[in-house]
Amino acid sequence: MSDCIFCKIVAGKIPSEKVYEDESLLAFMDIGPVQPGHVLLIPKKHYERFTELPEDLAAALGRKLPALSRAVVAAAKADGFNLFQTNGACSGQVVPHVHIHIIPRHEGDGYSFRWVAGKYAPGELQTWRAKIAAALKA
């Protein structure tokens, strides 16, 4: 994708502060951090949404997350961290190239990912379970 900012980072056409690289993955510092130490992990190949990833690439991303998250937490002396991932503009995705946010968190840092928990009507939970289980088999 010639106009994708993360593809340009992978190609070295725009600068980035890289923290990890292998044949299929790249991790670099987010320039607009939610908290200092915020890192992005991406596949080098362009895919817009997580749902488009081949399983082996999704597995490679997942395999790297524990060590990368440990490094972010250690460097930031964080109390915890968030893994965050957006798919589609409605979810907050601004850069249409798969990326996983690794965000160090400290007690009292004031940042909030809280949402208002909804409630199912009687039977609705089971209907959703069946719908999703059926979609998984399709």
The residue count for binding ligand AMP (CB under 6 A) is 12
CA distance 129 to 118: 16
In the complex, least distance from residue 32 CB atom to Zn ion, rounded to whole angstroms:
18
In the complex, least distance from residue 69 CB atom to ligand AMP, rounded to whole angstroms:
17
Residues 6+ apart with CB under 8 A from 48: 87, 96, 97, 98
By CB under 6 A, what part of segment 21-80 binds ligand AMP? 30-32, 40
Partners of 138 in the β-ladder: none
- Interacting residue with ligand AMP among 36, 62, 88, 92 (CB under 6 A): 92
User: Given CA atoms 81, 74, 31, 95 in this order, what sign does their dihedral have?
Assistant: negative
- Interacting residue with ligand AMP among 50, 93, 106, 109 (CB under 6 A): 93
Residue 31 interaction partner, one of Zn ion, ligand AMP, none, beta carbon < 5-8 Å per kind: ligand AMP
CA distance 20 to 10: 12
99 is catalytic: yes
Residue 27 interaction partner, one of ligand AMP, Zn ion, none, beta carbon < 5-8 Å per kind: none
CA distance 53 to 25: 13
Binding site for ligand AMP (CB under 6 A): 5, 14, 16, 30-32, 40, 86, 92-95
